[in-house]
Amino acid sequence: MESKTQKRRILRASASRSLANTKGMTIVELMIVLTIIAAIMGVVGFSVMGALDNANIKEAQIEIGQLTQMCDSYYLASSPRKYPAQLSDLAEGPSPLTKEVPKDPWGNDYIYRTINKREYEIYSAGPDGVEGNEDDVRAEGAGDE
């Protein structure tokens, strides 16, 4: 009987030694893996944010084009011919051209200025909300004015 008990003890001891000798990941290895994952996510995040900025600019250009068309329609429908005094005029009156004037993708109102009786400009102040700097968004092809 003692031999069976000794065999069990030997088996338990060798099993616990083999468990102790199994290799796992050290904290240094885990930190290296986490650093690599963070670097990859940083690169992906940077490119995604750039794509989001470009999408917002494109959306603003499209909306400016639509507002321009509405202003031209307002001009043709009014008697005597005139452009709206402000963009909110497009949503008012007996036959409004839109339910409401949209805000730019950054949540600001579009800027509408009449230059003279037949000219106007519509643009967005851009991501920073401050007009008159390099990030202002105008309709495509309107940058040469």
Question: Quick one: 111 exposed, middle or buried, by C-beta within 10 A (0-12, 13-18, 19+)?
Answer: middle
Q: Would you say residue 113 lies in a domain? A: yes
Q: Of the candidates 137, 144, 69, 132, which has an alpha carbon nearest to the alpha carbon of residue 104?
A: 137
Q: Would you say residue 60 lies in a domain? A: yes
Q: How many domains does the chain have?
A: 1
Q: Would you say residue 23 lies in a domain? A: no
Helix/strand/coil for 100: coil
The string of pLDDT tens digits covering residues 43-88 is: 888 888 788 888 999 999 999 999 999 999 999 988 888 899 999 9
The string of pLDDT tens digits covering residues 15-35 is: 666 555 566 778 888 899 999
Q: CATH number, domain at 114?
A: 3.30.700.10
Q: Would you say residue 2 lies in a domain? A: no
